[in-house]
């Protein structure tokens, strides 16, 4: 996948691309990236990229001309062009998977109060928000989107890690433990240590349900209550499950 990020502050993003798993994916040739400074496409004497809002109102808006030229040079709107903005569609794992299928992605980061609507109308294909809160600029949001997407590209990380994690099943991930099995008086649930794989599987599914019920009950809305999973959910509810991890028996240790 070729990723282009269009920003007034590409140096914020550079460090992210040159570290850790992302760095390895670039070295393996699974990803290439280009950071485009919008100011390089501002051709007036002061390389001005923002201006006041027509009709009045606070703050400054990003001007259309530099954005238009930078995006055209990057290949928009023929290539998928994501503008990260708090007024976009709420980003989720399904959208991340969709974007992961693209050969090319362009991410546009806004600053100030946003960008001129004509750029959205002519060059943007997707408006994406990463959550119901406001950030001071789009760079961090663009990195969130890129991170969620690139790790789904085959070869970047192992497939087992992908299929077990939160959201891939529609449920939150079950609690996990590593050695030692007993740390002070904190003990790993017996079932996980004993090696009965069917019992472990059942414990994990139930623990996932308990956790999802506690933190994200809306994720359970579409579960068919007559299915195997639905019956287990009913069991969890009947047992008064769905409390968080800071209450007794949080991890469903009595649930095998
Ligand atoms: Cl994508 N950008 C900004 N500036 N704020 C946000 C956001 C994006 N998503 C949530 N808040």
Q: Where are the domains of the chain?
A: 2-157, 164-238
CA distance 125 to 74: 14
Q: How confident is the model at residue 244 (pLDDT cuts 50, 70, 90)?
A: low
Report how far ligand 1's centroid is from the alpha carbon of 243 (Å).
Answer: 31
| Residue 142 CA, closest ligand 1 atom number | 1
What's the fold here for domain 2-157? Answer: Alpha/beta knot (3.40.1280)
The string of DSSP letters for 100-139 reads HT-SEEEEEE--TT-B-HHHHHHH-SEEEESSSS--S-HH
Q: Taking 90 as the threshold, does the pLDDT of residue 192 lie above it?
A: yes
Percent share of the chain, pLDDT over 90: 82
CA distance 155 to 146: 16
- The verdict on the CB of residue 86 being under 6 Å from ligand 1 is yes
- The verdict on the CB of residue 207 being under 6 Å from ligand 1 is no
Tell how strand 186-187 and strand 182-183 pair up: antiparallel
When mean pLDDT is compared across 101-105, 110-114, 174-178, 183-187, the lowest value belongs to: 110-114
Tens-place pLDDT, residues 109-144:
998 799 999 999 999 999 999 999 999 999 999 999
pTM of the model: 0.87
Q: Taking 70 as the threshold, does the pLDDT of residue 253 lie above it?
A: no
- The verdict on the CB of residue 141 being under 6 Å from ligand 1 is yes
Confidence at residue 37, expressed as pLDDT on a 0 to 100 scale: 98
- CATH: 1.10.1270.20, 1.10.10.10, 3.50.50.60, 3.90.1150.10. Which one for 164-238? 1.10.1270.20
- The verdict on the CB of residue 170 being under 6 Å from ligand 1 is no
When mean pLDDT is compared across 7-21, 62-76, 153-167, the lowest value belongs to: 153-167
Share of the chain residues as helix, strand and coil, in percent rounded to the nearest 5: 40, 15, 45
- The verdict on the CB of residue 84 being under 6 Å from ligand 1 is yes
Edge-to-edge strand list for the sheet holding 104-109: 32-37, 2-7, 104-109, 81-90, 126-129
Handedness of CA 86, 89, 91, 95 (dihedral sign): negative
Q: Six-digit token pair at 213?
A: 């019920």
How remote is the C-alpha of 164 from its chain's centroid?
16
Average pLDDT, the chain: 92
The string of DSSP letters for 131-198 reads SSS--S-HHHHHHHHHHHHHTTSTTSS-HHHHHHSTTTSSSPPPP---S-SEETTEE--HHHHHT-HH
Tens-place pLDDT, residues 24-56:
999 999 999 999 999 999 999 999 999 999 999
Q: Taking 90 as the threshold, does the pLDDT of residue 193 lie above it?
A: yes
CA distance 221 to 198: 26
Q: Six-digit token pair at 109?
A: 């980061």
CA distance 54 to 222: 45
With CA atoms as reference, report the closest residue to 116 among 55, 57, 72, 50.
50
- The verdict on the CB of residue 137 being under 6 Å from ligand 1 is yes
Q: Whose CA is nearest to atom 3 of ligand 1?
A: 135
């Amino acid at each position: 996948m070729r990723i282009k990020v269009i920003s007034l502050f590409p140096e914020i993003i550079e460090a992210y691309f040159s570290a850790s798993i992302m760095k390895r994916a670039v070295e393996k040739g699974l990803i290439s990236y280009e950071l485009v400074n919008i100011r390089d496409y501002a051709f007036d004497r002061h390389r001005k990229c923002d201006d006041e809002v027509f009709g009045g109102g606070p703050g400054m808006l990003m001007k259309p001309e530099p954005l238009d030229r930078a995006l055209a040079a990057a290949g928009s709107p023929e290539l998928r062009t994501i503008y990260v903005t708090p007024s976009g569609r709420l980003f989720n794992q399904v959208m991340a998977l969709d974007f992961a299928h693209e050969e090319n992605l362009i991410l546009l980061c806004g600053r100030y109060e946003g960008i001129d609507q004509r750029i959205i109308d002519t060059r943007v294909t997707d408006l994406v928000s990463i959550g119901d809160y406001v950030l001071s600029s789009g760079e961090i949001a663009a990195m969130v989107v890129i991170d969620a997407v690139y790790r789904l590209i085959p070869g970047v990380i192992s497939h087992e890690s992908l299929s077990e994690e939160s959201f891939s099943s529609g449920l939150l991930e079950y609690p996990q433990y590593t050695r030692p099995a007993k740390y002070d008086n904190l003990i790993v649930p017996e079932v996980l240590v004993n090696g009965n794989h069917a019992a472990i599987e059942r414990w994990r599914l139930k623990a996932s349900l308990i956790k999802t019920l506690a933190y994200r009950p809306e994720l359970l809305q579409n579960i068919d209550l007559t299915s195997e999973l639905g019956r287990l959910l009913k069991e969890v509810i009947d047992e008064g499950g769905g409390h968080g991890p800071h209450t007794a028996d949080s991890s469903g240790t009595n649930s095998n």
